[in-house]
Amino acid sequence: MVQYTGTVLDASFAALSDATRRGVLEQLGRADASITDLAEKFHMTLTGMKKHVGVLEQAGLVTTEKVGRVRTCKLGLRGLEEEAAWIERYRQRWAARFDELDKLVEELKQKEKADGRKKR
């Protein structure tokens, strides 16, 4: 069930929709790395990796810093917490609804049983 259309989250979810980009995040979770390192690790061209890192950077999931001739990538501060928190809030909303629905289902079941007995 989908019910959200915020640009920031859109960018994050779009960034995460690619297996290579998820791999890059995992890798950066272990250690910072240069674009060259990442390109090698994922068997990609520098240009290809730059593009992926660009998407992650725009979504705020990764930050990069150029020192001398090397661009180092690290996990963004915002990380995935915002997404996780949003999903958790969404879950709690449905859980609260469903707790109410439990009561209603129980009530309807009892009612049906009672009606069934009356008919017989």
Partner 1 sequence: MDERKDSEINPTKYGTTVERKSERELVVTRTFNGPAHIVFDAWTKPELLKRWWAPKSFGVSFLSCEADVRTGGTYRFVFSHASSEQPMSFFGRYVEVTPHSRLVWTNDEGDEGGAVTTVTFEERGGETLVV
Number of continuous H segments (helices) and E segments (strands) in the chain: 5, 3
Q: Does 58 bind partner 1 (CB under 8 A)?
A: no
Q: Does 102 bind partner 1 (CB under 8 A)?
A: yes
Q: Does 47 bind partner 1 (CB under 8 A)?
A: no
Selected from 3, 43, 81, 120, the binder of partner 1 by CB under 8 A is 3
- CA angle (87 as vertex; 6, 50 as ends), nearest 5: 60
Q: How far is the CB of 65 from partner 1 (least distance, A)?
A: 28
Q: Does 98 bind partner 1 (CB under 8 A)?
A: yes
58-92 in b/e form (b: 16+ CB < 10 A) is ebbbbbbeeeeeeeebebbeeeeeebeeeeeeeee
Q: Which residues bind partner 1 (CB under 8 A)?
A: 1-5, 13-14, 16-17, 87, 90-91, 93-106, 108-109, 112
